[in-house]
Chains A and B, each alone.
Chain A
Amino acid sequence: MRRIAGLIFCALSVSLTVSAACEHGCEGNCEHEGLQLRARIGYNIGGTAPLGMPATIRSLEAYHLTPSFMAGADAMLPLGNRWGIQAGLHVENKGMDGEVTTKGYRMKLKMDEDEMEGLYTGHVRQKVRQWMFTLPVQATCRLGSTVMLKAGPYVSLLFSKDFSGYASDGYLRKDDPTGPKVVMGSTEDQWATYEFPDDMRRLQFGVAVGADWQLLQRFGLSLDLSWGLTGLMKSDFKTVEQTLYPIYGTIGIFYRIR
């Protein structure tokens, strides 16, 4: 709970900063018209990670890019000179493919009904795929004539998901550190794979903040940050010690349709 509270505080402080900036924003020469539509594409980069890395994860060995593209459209209704409200529909993938080394990291490896649980020391490659529809609802405010800040909650519905990986070049102590040692090798037939797509939540929500920067008359760049407040996995999923939160940044371009 303290974590959630901290997060909400964090989000609030960001929005407060945004609104403080807005007070000094648009100086009367801003556009003032009806509904605006923006089509967007972007690339998500980030990861699903525990808040506060556990000591049992020792190092990040590699981070591979995934097809984490975003496409969608937002409708923004200006409410006066500065403020507005925006809602949209995005299709996106928040993927991850990272390699870490662990020391005594609690994990459960599962194949059909046969599980092996214990403490793993060695190399782990973790892949996440989360293709989803995201519905953001955001307050917007103009900062000068070209920049628009935005902040607000979002809801995501996953339609294609995967949480899988493998453990290699290490060993598992079954059950606890005094249990039998099971060595994992460095070739495909000597490492342990795992797959838990069914344990992933289908519905996620979180908060997102961002900025649109209109460079040309219709084109612009955008930078967004989305912070999941719900864990990646269902709450009864105990395989991984910590709750994993999806935290992603999006670099994108937009086209203003109207």
Chain B
Amino acid sequence: MIQLSMKRSFCFLSLLFLLTSCFKDEPKNMECDILEAWVEGDDLSSHFFQQSDMRIANVPSDVHQLAFTVKSQAELPLLKVFFSITPGATIVPANGSAQDFSKGPVVYTVTSEDGAYSRRYTVSFTNPAKPAVEESKMKFDFEHYELNKDEKTVRSNRYYVWYEESADGSRNDNVWATGNGGFILAKPNAQPEDYPSVADANGYEGACVRLTTRDTGSWGQTFKKPIAAGNLFFGEFDPQFAFTNTLLTTKMGIPFDEEPTKVTGYYKYRPGEVFTDKDGLEHKDRVDAPSIYAVFYRNQNAQGEKVVLHGDDIRTNELIVSMAEVAELPATDEWKPFEMTFKSQAPVNAEQLKNRGYSMALVFSSSKTGDEFVGAVGSTLYIDKVEITFKPKEENQ
């Protein structure tokens, strides 16, 4: 007891004199993430479309499926996959061990340094899955949606996610992304219908997507991000920077092996009543407008690294080869068609195109300047029956 009280007194004294002798040894890491994954091996590049497909960098913290794209899954030899993981964590099967991915995904389990936590990752090598293209057209009807099943978010409330069916009938979750994964951080108590991106049963035909600019509540105000525009785009959403640099949360674009020429669809739009800026101040002279645009870009840089455009460079990156934008989207309560044509800025290399060396970002937003947190809460954009027209194959050759 004496010793105990002496220790306390010592601790107390050090508090008083601002010493740090009370600080204990550093605890072991509790995290167990895969940060990066890559394939090593001679002569393996022939199985991949591009060298950059052999590496998945910057794995978002909420992702637990790592999908490499290969030309033919069935013809894969044993592959050694290497991982960069949280310092101190361990991974099973062993890092860099040869595994057979030809018959399906392999599950890796990462266990934290302190042994208390683990995460399961599914690693797969699959042929490129993409929605069916018929007569040079790819159609999106937005009939495939559900409330997200991620175990982490199911504990709280859930939000809508969309998926597509590939040509072979398999499910493809890697087409559409939304900012819903960021909204849940600001408004954890929101109901699925209160999110910015929601499925709506009353589409032009069947269901449609309803994008609404939402108030992000007190969290949003704190971080000077008072609104969240409803958005839907080709790519991936990484909520990591939801409060700091939102432009980095939107990883826009998915690889294509065909060149788009035109995007058409149907929309309805009604702007919200009160137009506000980043500080939440009202601008009576301004009216909100939606935004529909598409960008086609080279997805590998001169160094052979994979490139994904974000909100900050989606219109300015030098790898952009063509862009399309719907010039005007007048407010309407009736479904109206829209159309946009790609304007070329640089030539497309046919060989690189064949190897999925280009990505297309297709973006819908309920507030044009939503990425700057300027817009009107309540602005609502409905989207349905979207169709992408590609250059006929012969022209590409």
A10: contacting residue among B9, B219, B239, CB under 8 A = B9
* A119 cross-chain contacts in B, Cβ below 8 A: 30
Give every chain B residue within 8 A of A190 (Cβ-Cβ). 223, 243-245
Minimum C-beta distance from B20 to chain A (A): 5
Complex CA gap A181/B25 in Å reads 24
- Chain B nearest CB, measured from A65 CB (Å): 11
Q: Interface centre among B30, B117, B242, by most A CB within 10 Å?
A: B30
Across-interface contacts of A173 in B (CB, < 8 A) = 31, 61
The residue in chain A whose Cβ has the minimal distance to the Cβ of B224 is: A189
**Of B184-192, B202-210, B293-301, the one with at least 4 CB within 8 A of chain A:** B184-192
B276 shortest CB reach to chain A, Å: 16
Shortest Cβ distance from B289 into chain A, in angstroms? Answer: 25
**Complex: how many Å from CA A173 to CA B155?**
15
Query: Residues of A contacting B16 with CB < 8 Å?
Result: 45-46, 247, 249
User: In chain B, what residue has the closest Cβ to A5?
Assistant: B1
Proximity string of chain A (171-206) to chain B, C-beta cutoff 8 Å, 1 when within and 0 when not: 101111111111111000110110000000000000
Enumerate chain B residues within 8 angstroms of A9, measured Cβ to Cβ. 1, 5
List residues of chain B with CB within 8 A of the CB of A60. 18, 20, 23
Q: Tell me the B211-244 residues at the A interface (CB within 8 Å).
A: 217-219, 221-225, 239-244
Is A180 in contact with B240, judged by CB distance below 8 angstroms? Answer: yes
A49 within 8 A of B: yes
Those of A103-123 within 8 Å (CB) of chain B: 103-104, 111-116, 119
| Closest residue of A by beta carbon distance from B11 | A52
* 8 Å CB contact of A56 from B12, B18, B27, B243: B27
A51 to B8 CA separation, bound complex (whole angstroms): 8
CB contacts under 8 Å to A, within B1-17, are 1, 4-5, 8-9, 11-12, 15-16
The verdict on A20 contacting chain B, using a C-beta distance below 8 Å, is: no
Q: How far is the CA of A171 from the CA of B356 in the complex (A)?
A: 35
Interface: A55 (CB within 8 A) = yes
Whether B1 and A53, one on each chain, are in contact in the complex, defined by CB atoms closer than 8 angstroms, is no
Q: Which residues of A contact B245 (CB under 8 A)?
A: 185, 190
Residues in B with CB closer than 8 Å to A56 are: 27
Within 8 A of A (CB), among B98-155: 112, 117-119, 152, 155
Whether A182 pairs with B32 at a CB distance below 8 angstroms is no
Q: Give the distance to chain A from B110, nearest Cβ to Cβ, in Å.
A: 9
| Beta-carbon contact of A13 and B188 below 8 Å | no
In Å, the complex CA distance between A63 and B18 comes to 8
B24 at the interface (CB under 8 A from A): yes
- Is A256 at the interface (CB under 8 A from chain B)? no
A103 interface neighbour in B27, B118, B185, B186, Cβ under 8 Å: B27
A36 beta carbon closer than 8 Å to chain B? no
| Chain B residue contacts of A10, Cβ below 8 A | 5, 8-9
Q: Are A184 and B244 in contact (CB under 8 A)?
A: yes
- Interface size class on chain A is 35 or more
Q: Are A53 and B244 in contact (CB under 8 A)?
A: no
Bound-complex Cα distance A171 to B245 (A): 13
Q: How far is the CA of A85 from the CA of B227 in the complex (A)?
A: 62
The residues of B that contact A175 with a CB separation of less than 8 Å are 152, 155
Identify which of A49, A53, A184 gathers the most chain B CB atoms within 10 Å of its CB: A53
* Minimum C-beta distance from B103 to chain A (A): 28
In the complex where A116-B188, A174-B185 touch, is A192 in contact with B5 (Cβ < 8 A)? no
Q: How far is the CB of A252 from chain B (nearest CB, A)?
A: 15
A114 touches B240 (CB 8 A): no
A115 contact from B5, B30, B112, B188, Cβ within 8 A? B188
CB neighbours (8 Å) of A180 from chain B are 61-62, 152, 181, 185, 239-240
B244 touches A183 (CB 8 A): yes
Q: Is B333 an interface residue (CB 8 A)?
A: no
Q: Which of A103, A113, A227 contacts B189 (CB 8 A)?
A: A113
Do the beta carbons of B185 and A116 come within 8 Å of each other?
yes
B9 CB to closest chain A CB (Å) equals 7
User: Does A210 sit at the interface, judged by CB under 8 A?
Assistant: no
Q: Beyond A52-B22, A177-B32, A184-B243, is A111–B188 a contact (Cβ under 8 Å)?
A: no
Known: A111-B222, A177-B117. A183 touches B23 (CB 8 A): no
Tell me if B42 counts as interface (CB < 8 A to partner A).
no
- Report Cα–Cα, A173/B30, bound state, in Å: 10
Interchain CA distance A116-B152 in the complex, whole Å = 13
Q: Please state if B1 and A6 are interface contacts (CB–CB under 8 Å).
A: yes
Which residue among B20, B217, B245 has the maximum number of chain A CB atoms within 10 Å of its CB?
B20
Q: Mark B85-97, 1 if CB is under 8 A from A, else 0.
A: 0000000000000
The verdict on B394 contacting chain A, using a C-beta distance below 8 Å, is no
Query: Does A146 sit within 8 A of B, measured CB to CB?
Result: no
Query: Is there contact, CB below 8 Å, between A57 and B23?
Result: yes
Chain A residues packing against B (C-beta within 8 Å) = 6-7, 9-10, 13, 45-47, 49, 51-60, 63, 103-104, 111-116, 119, 171, 173-185, 189-190, 192-193, 227, 247, 249
Name B's A-contacting residues (CB within 8 A).
1, 4-5, 8-9, 11-12, 15-16, 18, 20, 22-27, 29-32, 61-62, 112, 117-119, 152, 155, 181, 185-189, 217-219, 221-225, 239-245
List the 10 shortest-distance A-B pairs measured between CB atoms, nearest first. Answer: A111-B218, A181-B61, A177-B30, A189-B224, A185-B244, A55-B24, A53-B22, A180-B62, A190-B244, A55-B27
Can you list 28 A-B pairs with a CB-CB distance of less than 8 A? Answer: A6-B1, A6-B5, A46-B15, A51-B11, A53-B24, A54-B24, A55-B24, A58-B26, A60-B20, A113-B189, A114-B186, A114-B187, A114-B189, A116-B219, A171-B240, A173-B31, A177-B32, A177-B112, A177-B117, A179-B61, A181-B240, A182-B240, A182-B242, A190-B223, A190-B243, A190-B245, A192-B222, A227-B12
Beyond contacts A9-B5, A112-B218, A114-B189: 10 other A-B pairs, Cβ-Cβ < 8 A, are A55-B25, A59-B20, A111-B221, A112-B217, A113-B189, A178-B152, A182-B239, A185-B245, A192-B243, A249-B16
